[in-house]
Structure formats: structure tokens, C-alpha cells
């Protein structure tokens, strides 16, 4: 394998730090194909500092491939990836110094104890908050002298989270961190991210979580991108999404007239009832329906998971 960073001049010159409001992650037109299967094509993603960003998509949509390109585990075949304004393939150490990562499959050396694993991982870091480590080990009730090979999946994920948070990185990358975990462990995971990680200077605490378990992360997410078949389909702020998408239900005295609704998704009619999902035109649709004198007319917002399903079905 050719080491493209062997040019000592290039790797020695680290560009000046980008200004405060510059994106932490900037992905433009990303392209990656495995053999003949196009996993990612023309994917765009921007994550600003201090945000908690969700990358949502079905299994096989291209989320993990994207994550791997961010981590320089895969080289993009087209487009560009920048973290902190830097190309992770050319400034790997500089970028990775500032990241904490919890992968979907957590693997440690099974013969190492929890203590040995954390010491080993801490040795790669210039900064490690030992007080946070102590608090988290207590909170998770992890015995330091237990071998990681004997831990449950949830416990290994907890160790991985401790290892990701203690260096107090500027960016936390979470790839399906809670899949396969029981609901209690999942909740503790989220609480720990909010409590221990978000504690620092907000401008230096950015999170990207890639998941299809959206309900758990609903409260944490500020903005998200839905990825489908390798490219970005919808990018919104969470509050804007919950405001824009509304489930409207109406019941009429007789069969409802066949009216065309612009900006309505998934219109369902059954007998005297009508249900649809409004995409931005909620108030206008409510106005039209109320003029048809329905027996009842209600509207409610959608959770992010419901927005996800409505967008992709």
C-alpha cells in the first residue's frame, strides 16, 4: 500500500486552525463503491461546532461507509471529506487527536482487564480526565480488574464510551452505539453523553451519531440528515422538522370529498375518516378541511422517527 503521507514537507505543515464558526465536519459529493455496489454517491453533510447531529438511514443506506471515510478507514473515491478543515487522509494524527469514537462493534483485547484497556487507550492520548474516568466507572459499576472478554456487550460499550469521553475530544463520533443494548443501558448511554461529554465548552463539544434507533436520541439531536441509498435525502433542524410535519386526522358525517392536497404525504381514506401527513402545508390543509365541516379535526406533530418513516416510505 502506498503511503501517501510520506512526503515529509506536506505532513509537517499543519494548516492554520479554521475560524470558530467553520464546520467541524464538511462532506461534499462523497462517493464510495464496494466492487460493483455503489454504497455512497454524492453525499453531502455539514456539522457545525457545538451541535448534536444525527445521521439517520436504513441498514445499508451508507451511514457506516460515510463514518469510515471520516475516520480514514476508507479513502473517498470521489468528493471531499474535511474534519476541522483538515483532510483526514493527509492529517490523520492531527484529526484523530481531536476525536472520540464509539463503533458499532466494540472489540477489545479480551485478556486485558478494564483497567489495562483504559490505560492502554489513554497512552495514545495527550489528555485524559481521570476524575471523569473514576466517576463513569462508578456510575457503570465496572470492576477495573475484570477482563473485557468476560464483559457483556452493554458493558463493553460502556468501556468504549468511557475511553471516548475521557480525552475530552472536540468531536464525538458514535456509530450505532446502542444497537443490541437493553433499554436501561441505552438510556444510561444517552445520559452519560449529555452529562459527562456535554459538560465542557459548548463550542468544543460536537456529536455526530449515526443510527436507525432514532427514538432514543430524539431529545439529544439538534439537526439531522436522512441518508437513503447512498445519498442525503433530507437535512433539517429537529425543531423545524417537528413543526413542519404534522399528522392531520379528520372525520366527516359522510364520505369525505376527494380533494387534492398539495404538500400532503401518505393520504389515507377509510370510510368517513381521512388521515394525512402534511409536509409544511399544515395550516393551509387544516383550513381547507375545516371548510368541509368535519365532525372532528385534529393535528399533531411527528416524532423524528415518524418523520424518518414518512420520508422514506
256: which 3 cell numbers? Answer: 369525505
> With respect to other proteins, which residue has the nearer C-beta, 110 or 219?
219
Q: Hey, is 270 helix, strand or coil? A: strand
Q: Supply the minimum distance, in Å, between the C-beta of residue 198 and other proteins.
A: 4
Q: Hey, is 115 helix, strand or coil? A: helix
Of the candidate spans 147-155, 160-168, 257-265, 299-307, the one that interacts with other proteins by CB under 8 A turns out to be 299-307
Write out the binding residues for other proteins, residues 47-86 only, by CB under 8 A.
50, 52
209: β partners: 54, 174
Q: Hey, is 169 helix, strand or coil? A: coil
285: which 3 cell numbers? Answer: 390543509
Q: Supply the minimum distance, in Å, between the C-beta of residue 242 and other proteins.
A: 5
> With respect to other proteins, which residue has the nearer C-beta, 180 or 202?
202
Q: How far apart are CA 254 and CA 251, in angstroms?
A: 9
> With respect to other proteins, which residue has the nearer C-beta, 70 or 304?
304
225: β partners: 55, 235
92 lies in the binding site for other proteins (CB under 8 A): no
220 lies in the binding site for other proteins (CB under 8 A): yes
Q: Supply the minimum distance, in Å, between the C-beta of residue 75 and other proteins.
A: 33
- Site size for other proteins, by CB under 8 A? 29
Find the binder of other proteins among 112, 122, 185, 194 (CB under 8 A).
194
Residues near 32 by beta carbon (within 8 Å), at least 6 away in sequence: 38, 39, 40, 62, 65, 69, 74, 76, 77, 78
Find the binder of other proteins among 60, 150, 180, 202 (CB under 8 A).
202
Letter string b/e over residues 265-280, b meaning 16 or more CB atoms within 10 A of that residue's CB: eeeeeeeebbebbbbe
Q: Supply the minimum distance, in Å, between the C-beta of residue 205 and other proteins.
A: 9
302 lies in the binding site for other proteins (CB under 8 A): yes
Listing DSSP states for 132-165 in one string gives HHHHHHHHTT--TTSBGGGS-HHHHHHHHHHHHH
246 lies in the binding site for other proteins (CB under 8 A): yes
Q: Supply the minimum distance, in Å, between the C-beta of residue 283 and other proteins.
A: 8
303 lies in the binding site for other proteins (CB under 8 A): yes
Contact positions vs other proteins (CB under 8 A): 50, 52, 187, 190-191, 194-195, 198-199, 202, 216, 218-222, 239, 242-243, 246, 286-287, 290, 297, 300-304
Amino acid at each position: 500500500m502506498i503511503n501517501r503521507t510520506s512526503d515529509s514537507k506536506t505532513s509537517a505543515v499543519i494548516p492554520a486552525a479554521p475560524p470558530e464558526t467553520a464546520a467541524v465536519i464538511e462532506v461534499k459529493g462523497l462517493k464510495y463503491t464496494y466492487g460493483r455496489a455503489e454504497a455512497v454517491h454524492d453525499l453531502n453533510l455539514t456539522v457545525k461546532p457545538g451541535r448534536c447531529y444525527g445521521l439517520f438511514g436504513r441498514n445499508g443506506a451508507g451511514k457506516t461507509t460515510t463514518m469510515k471515510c471520516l475516520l480514514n478507514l476508507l479513502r473517498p473515491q470521489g468528493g471531499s471529506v474535511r474534519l476541522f478543515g483538515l483532510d483526514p487522509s493527509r492529517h490523520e494524527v492531527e484529526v484523530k487527536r481531536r476525536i472520540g469514537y464509539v463503533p458499532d462493534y466494540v472489540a477489545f483485547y479480551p485478556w486485558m482487564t478494564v483497567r489495562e484497556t483504559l490505560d492502554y487507550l489513554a497512552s495514545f492520548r495527550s489528555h485524559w480526565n481521570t476524575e471523569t474516568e473514576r466517576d463513569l466507572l462508578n456510575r457503570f459499576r465496572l470492576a477495573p480488574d475484570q477482563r473485557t472478554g468476560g464483559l457483556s456487550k452493554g458493558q463493553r460499550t460502556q468501556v468504549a464510551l468511557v475511553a471516548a469521553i475521557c480525552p475530552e475530544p472536540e468531536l464525538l463520533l458514535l456509530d450505532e452505539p446502542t444497537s443490541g443494548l437493553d433499554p436501561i443501558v441505552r438510556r444510561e448511554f444517552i445520559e452519560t453523553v449529555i452529562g459527562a461529554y456535554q459538560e465542557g465548552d459548548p463550542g468544543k463539544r460536537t456529536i455526530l451519531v449515526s443510527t436507525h434507533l432514532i427514538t432514543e436520541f430524539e431529545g439529544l439531536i439538534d439537526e439531522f440528515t436522512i441518508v437513503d441509498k447512498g445519498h442525503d435525502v433530507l437535512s433539517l433542524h429537529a425543531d423545524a422538522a417537528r413543526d413542519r410535519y404534522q399528522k392531520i386526522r379528520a372525520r366527516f358525517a359522510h364520505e369525505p370529498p376527494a380533494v387534492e392536497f398539495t404538500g400532503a404525504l401518505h393520504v389515507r381514506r377509510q370510510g368517513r375518516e381521512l388521515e394525512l401527513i402534511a409536509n409544511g402545508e399544515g395550516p393551509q390543509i387544516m383550513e381547507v378541511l375545516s371548510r368541509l365541516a368535519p365532525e372532528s379535526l385534529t393535528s399533531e406533530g411527528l416524532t423524528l422517527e415518524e418523520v424518518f418513516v414518512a420520508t422514506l416510505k
